[in-house]
């Protein structure tokens, strides 16, 4: 990467940004062991109980340890800095350093990443992680550099499944006519349409009220997101159809990355990699707990014939027009 960058360290700009969020620079005055403390600003839309947020807190702690207190991260959760799309745009215009974004959101900026949104392309969790941790995953982390977006690591987001308010989904035909919330992703919209439902793009932070008010009849996500958002209070039907496995991505602005020195980059990458391993284990534990909690809250969990759902969306894979995405599909299918 040979692009100019900026990051948030002490001074007027950072003072204004942190003060606007209710913080004071004085909290950093005694930290660091040689030179000014560098503070990177990270925004995301999840709540503080979510496994991905906990992984980023782990990363923050490890970064402070690795840098001997000279480098840290301020994490802004719950969309306080804006939606995922807005946070990514802030990375591009130098007003934010780091962001967590679903790969489904990233496809709006890096078309090749849309491959992750295609249904039933991974055989199982092992196949999924072999792809992410291999050469394909690495290339896709780097694919946004020309857009000032550099991927540090992936976080597990498990499999995505349908959940609904009033009518259970046991077969694809049960989705006919339903208004299903999707992420702002052309691929997700096309998938839900192929299932026969009506896709409705709604920001994550607005989904609870949309479900309450009937703007959406249901949504699709993983169990920890379903329970941490308390959507089980509204939706009492959860279908384990596992239509996609779309990772979360930790992104840093290249305009930040290029101004960091070699050691700082190494510390950040190491802390990110370790947080990914930490989060993957935590995710497995939280998924089990989430399903148990959902059942305890009166949610019906349905195990279904996933082949019937896969057959419904199979034409999507045959109709992929982007040459790069078609090539990636072939590569993914060949990964052991």
CATH number at residue 206: 3.40.190.170
- To the nearest whole percent, how much of the chain has pLDDT over 90? 87
Residue 324: inside a domain: yes
> Are 150 and 31 found together in one domain?
yes
Residue 4: inside a domain: no
Higher pLDDT, 131 or 16: 131
| Average pLDDT over every residue of 146-166 | 97
Give the Cα separation of 30 and 324 in Å (integer): 50
| Average pLDDT over every residue of 50-74 | 97
Residue 2: inside a domain: no
The total of structural domains in the chain comes to 2
> Are 82 and 136 found together in one domain?
yes
Instruction: Return all residues near 37 (Cβ < 8 A) that are at least 6 apart.
Output: 9, 10, 28, 31, 69, 70, 71, 72
> Are 92 and 115 found together in one domain?
yes
| β-sheet with 98-102: strand ranges across | 71-76, 38-43, 98-102, 248-253, 149-155
> Are 187 and 302 found together in one domain?
yes
> Are 145 and 254 found together in one domain?
yes
Here the tokens at position 12 are: 């007027």
pLDDT value at residue 35: 61
Residue 3: inside a domain: no
Residue 30: inside a domain: yes
pLDDT value at residue 91: 98
Summarize pLDDT for 252-281 with one digit per residue, the tens: 999 999 999 999 999 999 999 999 999 999
Residue 226: inside a domain: yes
Do the Cβ atoms of 33 and 70 come closer than 8 Å?
A: yes
> Are 141 and 37 found together in one domain?
yes
Summarize pLDDT for 3-42 with one digit per residue, the tens: 333 333 333 333 333 333 333 322 333 344 446 899 999 9
Instruction: Return all residues near 101 (Cβ < 8 A) that are at least 6 apart.
Output: 44, 84, 87, 88, 248, 249, 251
Residue 215: inside a domain: yes
pTM: 0.84
CB count within 10 Å of CB 335 equals 15
Helix 262-296 crosses helix 51-66 at what angle (to 10 degrees)?
Answer: 150
| 3-state SS class at 266 | helix
Residue 5: inside a domain: no
> Are 232 and 264 found together in one domain?
no
| β-sheet with 160-164: strand ranges across | 198-201, 179-182, 218-221, 160-164, 237-244, 300-303
| Average pLDDT over every residue of 283-293 | 96
Here the tokens at position 228 are: 């941490």
> Are 232 and 257 found together in one domain?
no
Summarize pLDDT for 208-230 with one digit per residue, the tens: 999 999 999 999 999 999 999 99
pLDDT value at residue 179: 98
Q: Which domain holds residue 270?
A: 12-156+248-286
| Average pLDDT over every residue of 93-119 | 96
> Are 259 and 128 found together in one domain?
yes
> Are 56 and 192 found together in one domain?
no
> Are 199 and 301 found together in one domain?
yes
Give the Cα separation of 286 and 182 in Å (integer): 23
> Are 149 and 173 found together in one domain?
no
Instruction: Name residue, tokens 């991974």.
Output: 122
Residues paired with 99 in a beta bridge: 43, 251
């Amino acid at each position: 990467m040979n692009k100019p960058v900026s990051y948030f360290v002490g001074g007027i700009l950072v003072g204004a940004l942190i003060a606007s969020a209710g913080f004071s620079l004085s909290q950093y005055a005694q930290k660091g062991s040689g030179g000014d403390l560098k503070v990177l600003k990270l925004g995301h839309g999840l709540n503080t109980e979510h496994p991905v947020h906990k992984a980023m807190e782990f990363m923050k702690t490890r970064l402070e340890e690795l840098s001997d207190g000279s480098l840290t991260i301020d994490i802004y959760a719950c969309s306080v800095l804006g939606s995922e799309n807005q946070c990514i745009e802030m990375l591009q215009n130098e007003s934010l350093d780091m962001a967590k974004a679903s790969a489904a959101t990233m496809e709006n900026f890096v078309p090749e990443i849309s491959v992750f949104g295609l249904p039933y392309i991974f055989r199982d969790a092992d196949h999924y992680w072999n792809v992410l941790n291999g050469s394909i995953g690495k290339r896709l982390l780097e694919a946004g550099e020309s857009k000032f977006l550099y991927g540090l690591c992936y976080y597990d987001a498990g499999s995505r499944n349908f959940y609904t308010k009033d009518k259970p989904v046991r077969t694809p035909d049960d989705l006919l006519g339903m208004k299903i919330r999707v992420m702002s992703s052309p691929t997700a919209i096309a998938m839900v349409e192929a299932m026969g439902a009506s896709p409705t793009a709604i920001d994550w932070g607005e989904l609870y009220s949309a479900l309450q008010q009937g703007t959406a009849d249901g949504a699709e996500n993983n169990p920890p997101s379903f329970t941490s958002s308390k959507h089980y209070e509204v939706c009492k039907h959860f279908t384990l159809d596992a239509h996609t496995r779309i990772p979360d991505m930790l992104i840093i602005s290249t305009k930040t990355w290029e101004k960091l020195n070699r050691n700082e980059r190494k510390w950040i990458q190491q802390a990110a990699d370790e947080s990914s391993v930490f989060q993957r284990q935590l995710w497995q534990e939280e998924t089990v707990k989430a399903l148990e909690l959902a059942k305890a809250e009166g949610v019906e969990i349905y195990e279904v014939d996933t082949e019937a759902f896969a057959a419904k969306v199979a034409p999507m894979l045959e109709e992929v027009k982007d040459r790069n995405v078609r090539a990636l599909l072939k590569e993914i299918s060949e990964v052991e």
